[in-house]
Amino acid sequence: MKPKSLFLLPRRKVLLGYATIGIFLNAGAHAQQTWVPAGGGEYNTAGNWSGGAIPDAQGATVIISKDITATAAITFTGDNRRLGILQIGDTNNSNGYTFGTTAGATLILDNGLSTAEIQSLSGSIGQTIAAPLRLDSASVKISNLAAASTTSTRTLTISGAISAGNTGIKTLELFTDITSSGINLTSAISNGSGTVALNKTGIGTLTLSGNNSTMSGGVTLNAGTLNINSTNALGTGALTLNGGNIGNTSGTASFTFNNAINWGGDIGYTGNQTLVLGGAMAMTGNRTIALNGPGTATAGTLTLNGAITDGADTFSLTTTSSGPGIGAVLRLTGANTYGGTTTINGGLVRFINASSLPSNGADSLVIGINGAVSVSGAFTTGLAPILADARLSGASTGALALQLDSNVDFDASGKFQTLSLGADVGGSAVTYTGTWLIR
């Protein structure tokens, strides 16, 4: 008979000991502590916390939620503090908290292998997180959880600098759950010891207004609105557009960005200023741009300077608009090579040079009744690159405007029943063939 191992029982005892230690450490790391005062105070005062211990551990959950009667300031001084989840907000929809530090202290967001979070709770009118934030977890989520019945604006402002605390990619998700809720990132976002990437989700608004020139992980817009309100707001990484709206609401007339763009979904432009995207745009399907400006002389302008491409595909570009007037303006200046139809169902689209509209054969430019097309610039071969071979569809019902600096000629006889030309303002000659109506 084979003798039994003399070490079998001790091994079981050792393994049981490890399991017991593991359970104990996990429970300690995820302790939950609640703020006691119905107002502000010092974070580092043990008596301000349930259980009498200052929260400072990986995975710790901190809840700061009382019925406060005025803005309440919570500060911590001295050493950095570490936590996994921060839930903060008033309970009666009337006031908010400010959460800050002094003497250079930093709030470390560390929830181990789980997502670290800051949650602005639904009962509050908005918070300000002024503490510098260090991202130690690979995944961090900042949420503005405004109440679904709320109609007033509820903004979560992050005014502290944000950086990665260790190596690797740190994905910072910014979530807003209703259209009247927003998150404002007003300070610098930098890679720090790793790489920081931003991911916008939810139907509310994210506003970037800091100097993010040393952030390289890219910005992804999945839903809601992204206001790009500073010169280096996007950092140096790619801008990925999977849905939602982009805009410039800063009050500054124009911002220009040359980030590469991955165009993965339909988008809208809602800004009242000018936003210039200079990077190449790679389409992955048929795309629509909603030009939803106010339709006035001060409507915003979205300029796409980079080439719009679709590889070997034949994807189409469509514009729409809503509200009064023609909506915002879309300027196309790049040498675009997408292979499908360009349909202008809303807004004003300005083709700045002959290569802005690809040469895609018959009926490849359609102007809808609520759309308008403007052609400017001295085209060396006249308007033929735009309108030859009936590329302007005979079914078009919108407006085609030739700007004063244009030098154009075309022959579209047999293609249109009526062509209307506006008044000759600049004294330039108009040459036409066929039967036309000149007003």
Give me the residues paired with residue 175 across strands.
Answer: 143, 201
- Looking at the structure, tell me whether residues 75 and 192 fall in a common domain: yes
Q: Are residues 101 and 218 in the same domain?
A: yes
Q: Do 233 and 275 sit in the same domain of this protein?
A: no
- Asked whether residue 242 is assigned to any structural domain, the reply reads no
pLDDT of residue 180: 81
Residue 228, in any domain of the structure: yes
User: What's the whole-number average pLDDT of the chain?
Assistant: 81
Q: How many domains does the chain have?
A: 2
Same domain, 280 and 219: no
Same domain, 276 and 227: no
Inside any domain, residue 352: yes
Q: How far apart are CA 145 and CA 61, in angstroms?
A: 17
- Whether 292 and 174 map to the same domain: the answer is no
pLDDT band at 252 (very low <50, low <70, confident <90, very high): confident
Using CA atoms, how far apart are residues 347 and 247, in angstroms rounded to an integer?
15
| Contact (Cβ atoms closer than 8 angstroms) between residue 398 and residue 368 | yes
Domain-located, residue 8: no
Q: Is residue 211 part of a domain?
A: yes
What are the residues whose beta carbons fall under 8 Å from the beta carbon of 192, sequence distance 6 or more? 134, 135, 163, 164, 165
Confidence (pLDDT) at 94: 86
Kindly list the distances between the CA atom of residue 438 and the CA atoms of 119, 221, 311, 419, 433, in Å, as whole numbers in the listed order: 62, 46, 41, 7, 12
The letter for the amino acid at 315 is: F
Domain co-membership, 232 together with 275: no
Tell me if 17 is assigned to some domain: no
Report yes or no: 168 and 174 within 8 Å, Cβ to Cβ.
no
Q: Tell whether 327 and 193 lie within a shared domain.
A: no
Same domain, 229 and 288: no
Is 131 in the same domain as 201? yes
Residue percentage of the chain with pLDDT more than 70: 74
Question: How much is the pTM?
Answer: 0.83
Range of the domain at 391: 271-439
Q: What is the pLDDT of residues 219-241, one digit of tens each?
A: 999 999 999 999 999 999 999 99
Give the tens place of pLDDT for each residue, 301-357: 999 999 999 988 999 999 998 755 567 889 999 999 999 999 988 888 888 877 888
Considering the domain boundaries, does residue 250 fall inside one? no
Q: What is the mean pLDDT of residues 253-270?
A: 93
Q: Are 165 and 190 in contact (CB under 8 A)?
A: no
Residue 411 pLDDT class (50, 70, 90 cuts): very low
Query: Is 53 contained in some domain?
Result: yes
Q: Are residues 204 and 59 in the same domain?
A: yes
Identify the band that residue 200 occupies on the pLDDT scale cut at 50, 70 and 90. Answer: very high
| Cβ proximity of 219 and 242 under 8 Å | no
Round to whole Å and give the CA distance between 65 and 74.
12
Give me the mean pLDDT over the 100-105 stretch. Answer: 88
- Mean pLDDT score, 254-266: 95
52 or 424, higher pLDDT: 52
Q: Are 247 and 227 a contacting pair, CB within 8 Å?
A: yes
Answer yes or no: do 280 and 336 share one domain.
Answer: yes
